A and B are shown apart, each in its own frame.
Chain A
């Protein structure tokens, strides 16, 4: 005990500041990795996008500074325009996964024998790798042997080659992507529905609310956190779409299913792609688009946290 009394004057700088230092130390590994693998590469992309460089050898020696040249070229690049529009299509249509997931979740939110089995069956597509989903769907769409055309001809309709038709191919791929994404949103809503307050439902029922009005005014507002997460993962999923495209059409037919991430890969890293600078410029554009959403997400999270603190 007497020893403890003597201690305070001997306390080092580290001990005195440990309340500030400890969290910083715990943050350090995360911050370090985030900086090395995320933040610094973002700035590197900006930097490289001002060069014409084939990605081999040193940037300083082999690269040629072109300033905004790559961006100017992007403006007139039709393939870029197609990719950008496809990204918009992906963003808009991928959001269908949210109402789809909500609908299935409401449907499955009941107590029937074996409901767990049904729930896991509905969740199954999300467990599958995207590559497998892509393969399964490309077999489904096969022009001659595919199930889709078998069904269409059964109903007396003309068979269609979804992935071979430049006007349809992107929609075909998005449909494939919606399958696992809907399952993901479903599981988010299922957990959300567990947290719905039964007393509020009861009160609403006493006031005579049912059906759509009950869903719209009572249930959905309580599902807001689930909706927010579903929105975030779906937007990010739509902008990240790459594997399905690579597996199902490889960007074709004649480049009609490319999105920005795929086009970037093609230009910078693929078999015939030796334009690091140009690829980086595409990456920067994609980053800026993502930044809009990321900023919105961060802002709404910050706002919510501030309200919670009040």
Chain B
């Protein structure tokens, strides 16, 4: 420790140890060079979070230059392949589960199983599964959020309805809502994935989480009677007229006004819709949340999509990248970035505190206590990419023309036989 720089680094490690003990545990040495991050957190709130993350991390390591590049979230979905192939950055954003598969298979994500094995990453046991392909881990999560039914509490009170626990109650509620001249559910299926949410829940409730996952892995034919039963339940709602008209024309954001104006009372969506509803002028007294009701006698499975960080396999500064991943998942950072001033979502680290927000608390409680069936990622993350795209198209078609079901299932089945083989 004669070198003043290393001494400084030692002191720094010591001081950071007070701030983020989980981080400073094993990395006493200072990091240098450049750390290049490409992030897709382009919406205003996530963008601020990401910029602060990079700035804080850079401050902890004065010798390290953190280069942050924020790309539009939608654009990133098709840009990532180029970004990873030519002159790859060190760290990138992506999504968990099967969404990683093409990049894992092509060797573009780095295997970081050693970080999980060495105990560097603590408190991530519950989310580890979503990061695992072929028994290895390919990244770390940084945030996840619950899905469920967000509804207009004031309209429910007006009609004397209570949160349903079973599908029968759900349908009885819906009938009363329809009788009052409103629609039960708003949905915008122009970009297809919202319909995937409905299928996920109906299938997980009708046939259980394990069956849903078998279907996602291609082990069950789409023409199976159990799949048909799921669609039959869905059809009950469609035939009642529960969904808003012309939903195939709207994006998920364009479907929000129906709920805000009280023309529809509920929305099956992820927690990311809450800030939009609040901004549109709904107070917390007017919105509430309940878990998708029970249909069959199966333990409840839930959708909770996880957003992730990965190290590119062509990363130049692997040491810094690993340190960054570790920093992001530490309990303190997790509590901060997922807090009400940050993403307003659930922290992935079990030791992190959960924000004091009505919806985040409810979601946390639901996922930690009442999701005994298992936690799914989402239709387009659990199914392989091509199957997901064809599947969601079929789901949208079913919602508009339920009579086409046989044709849709035949088509998906022949796609399944080709895609998984």
Contacts and interface: CB of A to CB of B under 8 A. Distances in A.
Interface of A: 54-57, 62, 78, 142-144, 161, 163-164, 249-250, 252-255, 266, 269-275
B190 A250 contact: yes
Contacts of B178: none
A252 B411 contact: no
B78 A254 contact: no
Contact of A164 (B85, B246, B394): B246
A271 B77 contact: yes
A254 B396 CA distance: 7
A145 to B, nearest CB: 10
A272 B389 contact: yes
B420 to A, nearest CB: 14
Contacts of A250: 190-191
A135 B138 CA distance: 40
B386 A255 contact: no
Nearest to A53: B106
A252 B192 CA distance: 9
B249 A164 contact: yes
A56 B103 contact: yes
Interface residues of B, number: 29
Interface string B84-127: 11000000000000000011011110000000000000000000
B102 A274 contact: yes
B246 A57 contact: no
A143 to B, nearest CB: 4
26 contacts: A55-B81, A56-B84, A56-B85, A56-B102, A56-B105, A57-B106, A57-B108, A143-B249, A144-B246, A161-B245, A161-B246, A161-B249, A163-B249, A164-B246, A164-B248, A253-B396, A253-B400, A254-B248, A254-B394, A254-B397, A266-B389, A271-B77, A272-B389, A273-B389, A274-B102, A275-B386
Interface of B: 77-78, 81, 84-85, 102-103, 105-108, 190-192, 245-246, 248-249, 380, 385-386, 388-389, 393-394, 396-397, 400, 411
Nearest to B386: A272
B401 to A, nearest CB: 9
Contacts of B411: 78
B394 A272 contact: no
Contacts of A55: 81
A273 B396 contact: no
B397 A54 contact: no
A262 B108 CA distance: 27
Nearest to B191: A250
Contact of B106 (A56, A254, A273): A56
B246 A143 contact: yes
B78 A269 contact: yes
B379 to A, nearest CB: 11
Contacts of A56: 81, 84-85, 102-103, 105-106, 108
A62 B106 contact: yes
Contacts of B246: 143-144, 161, 164
A143 B396 CA distance: 17
A179 B297 CA distance: 57
Given A56-B81, A161-B245, A269-B78, 8 more contacts: A54-B105, A54-B106, A57-B107, A62-B106, A271-B77, A271-B389, A272-B386, A272-B389
A54 B394 contact: no
